[in-house]
Structures are given as structure tokens and as C-alpha cells.
Structure 1
Amino acid sequence: MSSPVPAAVEAVTSKPSLVKAEDIIEADSEPSEDNDAGSLRTTKSVSQSIFDYVKENGRSYHRYRDGSYLFPNDEIENDRLDLQYEILKMLFEGRAYFAPLSNPKKILDIGTGTGVWPIEMAYQFPDCEITGTDLSPIQPQWVPDNVRFVIDDASEEDWLIAPSSYDYIHTRVLLGCFTDFRHIVANAFRYLRPGGWLESQDYMHTVYCDDGTMSEAYPFQRWTRTQDEAAMTIGRPLRIANKLRKWYEDAGFVDVHEVVYKLPVNGWPKDSKLKMLGRFSEESLLDGIQAFSLAWLHRGLGWSKEQIEVHLVDVRKAISDRSVHAYHKIYVVWGRKPEAGEVRGAGSRS
């Protein structure tokens, strides 16, 4: 019997193994309350000041390149990042990557966060050198020998190594992290060897609904619009996932593929696996909604912490409202840098 997870997939490739884009998630006709959802190596000198995090509205933020990443880096957020990783792993049916990798020797993970992905990849590819970069030194001290973590800003022109060096470059959930993600795509093209792959896995910030149960007054939808306004004021766009494919192709990548998954906001689906994913998604959203709001609405719109907390009361209730069948789209895009002499644009487009 096939796994129920592909029913969550909105596929925009031509691969027959994926469920068609028009598939709809069936809602549970009897929704209920779910109470059961439950030494650093670096190529840059890490001074004590990097660990002296910026404090704002009761949360901590990175010191290196202060202000360029507006999400916290404290223990609460790090735990949520690990939960988010597990949610995506379950949604992707255990896959850590989609690009057709074959014996890679050098891998780069941009915005590695807590470092879970490079560590997992290190066990899959023990002969590969895997580097994870981030603005905060929040990764574990003890890691496989083929993993290293580097304090670095990917928005810079130079990426720690000579161009045409990496076999695979990976980004995950980096919405709002850069002023222009096209720069990251273009730089990845430069630093990949011919034939190497770039892959991005990201949330679409917009909230979707297929059955009319989400009204314009839905507080969680209103919150996404408010945060989007703040993000554009700050100059850190959140709505990038649906543009990734075009940006890859514009940068010169070939064999560009795109798959779009549906991730329920909470446990409203009838399907047991999707219901579980929804419960975890709800937990992640509730744990993170303050982190997603404080710096953005404070710096972008000038809101006080008190204003933000009042605003979030109804948002939290909306996230847990199972009568609204809302979901996020998760985009996975991967593409190949052409081989030397290969005509750009000659690769297949699925």
C-alpha cells in the first residue's frame, strides 16, 4: 500500500510518481483538540563578542552582522528549528535532499542553524567534506569528522573557498534572511563546479485554503500580511519560495525541478499522517509566532512589545482553529550548473 504522504503533495513536475496538483486534502469531519502533540570549529576567529548576543524584547539575536537576521537564536528558537527540521523530514518522506547526488566531495549548507542537516548528510556521505555556515555559533560541539561549522555571512561576495569548488549547495527555510535571494542563487552558480547542484527548500509565507473555510478575517492570514508589510519595509522579503525556480533559470541553471508540498497549519486533515504533521506544524507555529513577530513588527512597523503581544492573542487562537482548513506551501527546487561547453537552457525542465 502506498504511503499517504504524497496526498499532501502539489506537484508541478511531470514525474508520474507524484500526485497531481489538483489533489485536495480531506478534512477531518470530527476535529478535536489535540493535546498529545509533544568545541566549535570555524575558519574565522570567534571572539567572545560573537557569543555576547544582542538582547531585545526578552529574546536574544546574533551579534555577528547585527540586524541582518531578524529571528532569535536563543534556546527556545533553536528547539523550534529542530522541530521544524523533523516536520520537513516527515513531509519529504525521510529525504534530506532531492538533487541526484553521486559521490559528492564538497557540500555547503547556507544558514545551517542548529546544524542538524550537515550532521545527517555527513553520515550519508562519510567521504564528503560538509561545511555549514551561519551568523550564530549555535551548532553542537561534537560533530562527525567530515563536518565543520563556520561563522559567515552568505550575502558577502566571497564564500570561503575558490569558485567552482562545491558539488552541492543547500539552502533551507531562508525566507526573510536576505535583501535579495537572487544574489545567493547567482553566487551558488559561481561556486559550484560544472555539473554541481543547488537546492532550496522553503516555506511560502502566504496561507492557503482549498475549501472556502478561511475568510478574509482569519487572524493568522492577517498576521502574515502584516509581517509581510514589515519585511518589505525592512528590506528582507518573505515571499521568495514561488520565485526560486525562475531565479535558478535566470542564473543559468539547467535541469531545474520544482515540487510543492502542502503542510497543514494544524491537525485538521482526516488522513492520520497529515493530521500528525499538522499537529507538529501547529506546535512549531505557536512556539515561534512571537519569534516571527517581535523584531519584524518592532523594527519594521514601530510596534511596541505590548502591541505585538496583544495582536498575537487572536493569531494564536486562529492557528489552533481546526474549522479553518489552512495550509502552507513548501517549495523544493533544485537545478544543475551546466557542464563546461554545455549550452545553457539545454537541460530538461520538469
Structure 2
Amino acid sequence: MNKKDDLQSSAATSSADRTGQIAADPSFQDDGDSALGDDIAPSTSSIASTILEYRKLHGRTYHNYKDVEYWGPNDEQQNDGLDLNHHKLYLAFDNKLFFAPLRNPQKVLDVGTGTGIWAMYENRVCHDGHMSTPKHQTNLVVSDFATEFPEAEVIGTDLSPTLPNWVPPNCVFELDDASQEWTFPDNTFDYIHIRFMAGCFKDWTRLYSECFRCLKPGGWLEHQECGFRVVSDDGSLPPDNAFNEAANLFAETGRRSGHTTEVIDDDNWIRWMEEAGFRNVQKKAIKTPMGEWPADKKWKEVGLFNRITTETALEGYFLYKLTRVMGWEYAEVQSWLARVREALRNKAYHGYSTW
């Protein structure tokens, strides 16, 4: 039996299934964000001093690993955004880190681990398990994969070094470029996790092929990805809203650089996974409101996290892309970002994005 036949249940693209319209709260008022604060704004290498000498662009820092092109900053502000996004998804997914039907996984890979918060939560939390970043304090307690599966070996890879104060014995972080040929042997992992990597790869079929090669027979790939377009079900968003412009710009920068951002659009990722050899590809989708407009308490909190996450990370999403790819001036970028932030805070907009 060849490997393709043996991997009958190998891929899960995920998020909890929520297709109904989210009811808006007619009494919604902006009474501040007390919960999160008001200040928004092919080889595997060990960490060397040169890697820590980050590139700088308009006051933001970026990785310095092998001159690999990646648009996201790696500074504290962007890391705050990544961690807030993790909380948002943990809440939206009903306290789930994954949706694949895992059974006692022994070896797990987190591709593009970022701050490492999915793999190992300790490095950016208080001792009581609550989130703590320099600008935000929340009451949302989350888990991490290494804690949920203490018998599993969890490996997180990224272009930027993850430097936690403490790492559990079953978790390790490695510096690696996932767009190149992987150094892991065939049939290594029971589960591979990818999240929020749109715009990071030129060849997604190649990435998924490496996942397929490195998964054990019967192993699972789970890719959680965001649709960048914000829409509404009740017509509250005008056609010329700043969200549409942002989504169009983000997609255009991906087309110009060759790093597509349109991963979930037209089910591209399903096609790429199947081209890589995966079978039993499952798709789930969840609406994540943008702002505190929902009537339901849970979705109101998800919307709060979504808005604050986006405001925190917004400049990082676009600064490199608009200045280096589109040729904008820095002042032009800041003026446009102000327009997007204004839309984020517009209480009349009942928008949502889809994971």
C-alpha cells in the first residue's frame, strides 16, 4: 500500500462551524476597553548573535534569517497582536486548540510558531495563567498544546527566534525557513499545525507536500487561516468601506510579491492540499465579529479581542507591504492606517471576518 492510500485521514482545515448570522446588540455603546487597556497602537539553525541583529524599517524590527522575505515585524507590538489573536481564537473555538481527531500524538510540529503561545503558553503569561503583555491584561485563561499532551514532543519553528524564560521538557523551538526543503525525516509527525500564514509562501503545494512527507501514515495536518475581507450580513458596511480597501491592498501586495494572501479564497488551500497528496480534507468556518456589536456575550468578547488585535497589529500587517512592495511613502501609509482604524471603531458597522 503506497503512502497516499495509507493516509486516508490526513488533513483538517479548521475552525468551529458557525454559519448563522450574529445578532447585533441594539444598545451597544463604547464604554472603553477596560479589559484590555486603552494604549493601542534547508538547515535548522541554533540562535546566533547575528540572528538577533534585526532589520529595521520605520522604527519596526524584522527577522534577519537568511534574507528570507517576510512582511511581518517581530517586535513587542506585533507579538502582542499575535498573542491577542491566540486568545480571540481560543475563545471563538470554545477553548479548543485544534479540531483534528487526535489520539495520543507523540510528535507534533507547529509551523510558524511566532511567540510560541500555541505550543507553550508560559512565556507571556502571569503565574495564575492569565495573559499579561506590556499593554494588555485579560481574565481569559488558555491552555497550550505541550501542557495538554505532556507525553508528546512539541516542536515550534519560525524565522524569528522564540526566547521564552522557561520551556517545558516536552517543547523545543527551532529557527527554520518552512518555505525550503524541511530537514525532518519522512514519517516524523503525528500532527502538524499551521496558523495565520497567508502571504508567507510562494508555493503552497510545496509546503503541503513537505507536511505530507513528514507526517506519519494516518497523521493530521491542520491549517487555521483567516479571510482578510470584512463583510456584514445586515448591510451595515457601505461598499466603499476601508475594510474592503484593506483586503484588496493586502491581496494586491501578495500578487506583486508572489506570496499569495488568498489562501482560503475559492478553496485554494483545499486544492493545494489535494495536489500534495492529502485525502479527507475537511473545511470548517467561523465568523469572528469585528468589534463589540454582537448581542451575545461570547461573540461580543470575541469581537472586542478581534478589534483590539487588529488595531495592535495593523501597522505591522501593512507597513512593509505598502512601502516596499507598493512603493508608498511612510506618511501616506500612516494616513491610510488612520482611516482603517476609524472604521474599526465605527459602532454602526456590524462586520466580521471568517476563520
With the length of structure 2 as denominator, give the TM-score of the two structures: 0.83
Question: Is contact 1:31-1:323 (8 Å) kept?
Answer: no
- The structural deviation recorded for 1:18 is 5.2
Kindly indicate whether residue 85 of structure 2 is the aligned counterpart of residue 62 of structure 1.
no
Which residue of structure 1 aligns with residue 24 of structure 2?
27
Query: 1:122 and 2:119 equivalent?
Result: no
CA contact (8 A) 2:162 2:173 kept: no
Aligned residues: 309
Provide the rounded CA distance (Å) in 2 between the counterparts of 1:116 and 1:139.
Answer: 11
Change (3 A) 1:162 1:285: same
Q: How many Å separate the matches in 1 of 2:296 and 2:275?
A: 39
- Residue 182 of structure 1 deviates from its aligned partner by 2.1
Question: Does the alignment pair 1:267 with 2:292?
Answer: yes
Shift of 1:66: 2.9
Q: Deviations over 1:23-57 (max 9, x none)?
A: 1111111221141241xxx9523221100000001
Please list every run of at least 4 consecutive aligned residues from structure 1 whose deviation after the TM superposition is greater than 4 angstroms: none
Aligned pairs (5 A) from 1:29-108: 29-36=26-33, 37-38=35-36, 44-108=45-109
Residue 174 of structure 2 is matched in structure 1 by 150
Selected match of 1:296 from 317, 321, 325: 321
How far apart are residue 199 of structure 1 and its match? 0.4
- Contact 1:228–1:237 (8 Å) recurs in 2: yes
Asked if 2 retains the 8 angstrom alpha-carbon contact of 1:68 and 1:178, the reply is: no
Quote the offset at 1:67 in angstroms.
4.6
Once the two structures are superposed, what CA deviation does each residue of 1:221-252 show, in whole Å capped at 9, x if it has no partner? Answer: 21221222122111111110242223223322
Q: Is the 8 A contact 1:113 1:139 kept in 2?
A: no
Summarize the alignment of residues 174-213 of structure 1 with structure 2, pairs less than 5 Å apart.
Answer: 174-213=197-236
2:336 paired with 1:329: no
* Aligned-partner Cα distance in 2 for 1:131–1:195: 19
Take 2:300 and 2:321, find their aligned partners in 1: how far apart are those partners? Answer: 30
Higher relative contact order (CA 8 A, sep 6+): 2
Offset at 1:160?
Answer: 2.7
Which residue pairs with 1:131 in the alignment? 155
Distance 2:213 2:156 in 1: 18
Aligned partner of 1:113 in structure 2 is 114
1:201-220 Cα offsets, whole Å, 9 max, x none, are: 01011222111111221112
Aligned match for 1:218, one of 238, 241, 249: 241
Q: Whole-Å Cα distance in 1 between the matches of residues 51 and 254 of structure 2?
A: 25
Identity over aligned residues, as a percent?
39
CA contact (8 A) 2:80 2:312 kept: no
Q: Assess if the C-alpha contact under 8 Å between 1:172 and 1:202 holds in 2.
A: yes
For 1:105 and 1:43, the matched residues in 2 are separated by 21
Counterpart CA distance in 2 for 1:140 and 1:24 is 40
Per the normalisation by structure 1, the TM-score is 0.85
Distance 1:127 1:306 in 2: 51
Note the 1:339-350 alignment, pairs <5 A.
Answer: none
Counterpart of 2:336 in structure 1 is: 311
- Corresponding letter in the other structure for 2:155: T
The 3-state SS of whatever aligns with 1:50 is coil
Gapped regions of structure 1 (runs ≥ 5): 1-12, 331-350
In the alignment, the residues of structure 2 paired with residue 34 and residue 257 of structure 1 have an alpha-carbon distance, to the nearest angstrom, of 40
Tell whether the 8 Å contact from 1:25 to 1:269 is kept in structure 2 after alignment. yes
Residue 255 of structure 1 aligns to a residue in which SS? Answer: coil
d(CA) in 1 for partners of 2:311, 2:156: 27
